[in-house]
Amino acid sequence: MIAVAWRSLRHRPGGFAATFLSALLGATLLTAFASLIDTAAGADAASAESLITTASVAGGWCLVIVVFAVTSTLGLSVRRRAEEVALLRRTGATRGQVRRMIVGEAALVALIAATVAVPGGLLLGRVLLALLHDTGQVAEAVGYEFGPIALAAGFGVTLLGSLIAAVAAERRTREGVRKDRPRTRRIAAGVFLAAGVSCGIVTATVMRGKGIDAMQTAGQAGIWASIGLALLAPELLRAVSAPLRPMARKPAGAVMPVTLFSGIATGTVIMQETEDRAAAGTIVPDFAADIQTLNYTVVGMITLFVAVMLVNTLIAATTGRRREFAQLRLAGATRGQLTAMVALEGALAAITGVAAGSVAALCTIVPFALARTGVVWPQPSPCPYLVIVGVALTLTGAALLGTTRRVIAGPVPALLS
């Protein structure tokens, strides 16, 4: 079945593009941050502490997001092939053989992506070290090292996350793609939300008065909360679209990446703005500017990855609806009506995701404001938030509508193939 998996990758590369891109970008970020730990082995004590702290905090955020992204895209890819899996079963393939094929495909994609990610991770790691040099957190004499820890993080995490996602997706495909497990999903959401609230409480209490160090737990609070609300996407979308229930298909899968993007981006950007205000006049200006550059670079890399995940997931999900679009066309729907339907779905998904992400961001914004300034609400500028909302709406609309137009452009028989 491994040979079958390899042939499937060779003849259907497009079906694995979303998973490959998520794994590639994720492995690049992971290897870059993990390489700082390799670098710390040959550094002085103070520099080593800064390197390990940066790798642990920012790399930890990346780890959670990368595993979530790979799991989402790979699961979507496998569920789209339910008919192919059913055909293999009818021709005599056992459950074990089908599972080995799907797991083999996931492993091959992960290994290829992690291999391709090595040069990018090495280059990005050098950029991170240069920023740490500029901020004075790492001595100039410390040279860059790219060693076993970076490779283990890039290959190990990407491969393990892909294998876990493949097993879970195969099981769900076997049980039926339309079967939801609301209880399990809601329990998982509750765990993540509890973790986010706990980190927020720690930030507002234990980390109060500890300056910029409060960012460590405050950032994690927003990420955990974003994932928790993303897992509740079906329930959230059902509530938002209740007045339009006859008109909307309720694309819950589109809500998840929008929630992650808006939640993480909003929380981290406003947290940095709060830190800038709190540190004004207390730090040498040049040094403060360097710290700000480092923070925005790290936040930018993570936010960019989540944005790519958003577009990646939406394109993959829309492409997988070819047969549905064909059936609607056969029932008399025009291309314009299909486009309008998807536009409505996209608007509902974007509104729901932005609203959920904004709530999740509060788990970062409020506790950090209490820890750094002693006030509940830091009165942030509305401009960054409006930019984030605009980007979320633009990315969602462009991904959904652009893909839909390409999918329905051809004749109906081609959509059924």
CB 256 within 8 A of CB 230: yes
CB 181 within 8 A of CB 175: no
CB 204 within 8 A of CB 230: no
Q: How many helices (H) and strands (E) does the chain have?
A: 16, 0
CA atoms within 13 A on the CB side of 180: 11
Cα separation of 416 and 411, whole Å? Answer: 9
CB 108 within 8 A of CB 7: no
Residues 6+ apart with CB under 8 A from 152: 34
pLDDT at 174: 61
Nearest Cα to Cα of residue 227 among 182, 191, 179, 253: 191
Cα separation of 184 and 169, whole Å? Answer: 14
CB 134 within 8 A of CB 288: no
Q: Where are the domains of the chain?
A: 1-179, 181-417
pTM above 0.75, yes or no: yes
CB 21 within 8 A of CB 308: yes
Nearest Cα to Cα of residue 68 among 227, 265, 232: 227
Nearest Cα to Cα of residue 53 among 216, 211, 204: 216
| CB environment 331-346: b (16+ within 10 A), e (fewer) | eeeeeeebeebbeebb
pLDDT at 291: 67
How many residues belong to the chain? Answer: 417
Residues 6+ apart with CB under 8 A from 83: none
Cα separation of 261 and 308, whole Å? Answer: 9
User: What average pLDDT values come out for the chain (417 residues) when binned by 10 residues?
Assistant: 58 68 87 92 87 77 73 71 69 76 83 93 92 84 93 88 77 56 87 95 91 82 92 88 61 82 90 83 55 70 77 79 83 88 88 94 95 90 92 89 84 63
DSSP state of 143: P
End-to-end CA distance of the chain: 24
Residues 6+ apart with CB under 8 A from 77: 15, 16, 18, 19, 169, 316
Q: At what angle do helices 214-231 and 233-240 cross, to 10 degrees?
A: 70
CB 135 within 8 A of CB 44: no
Nearest Cα to Cα of residue 50 among 216, 263, 275, 189: 216
Extended strands (E) in 285-408: none
Single-letter residue type at 367: P
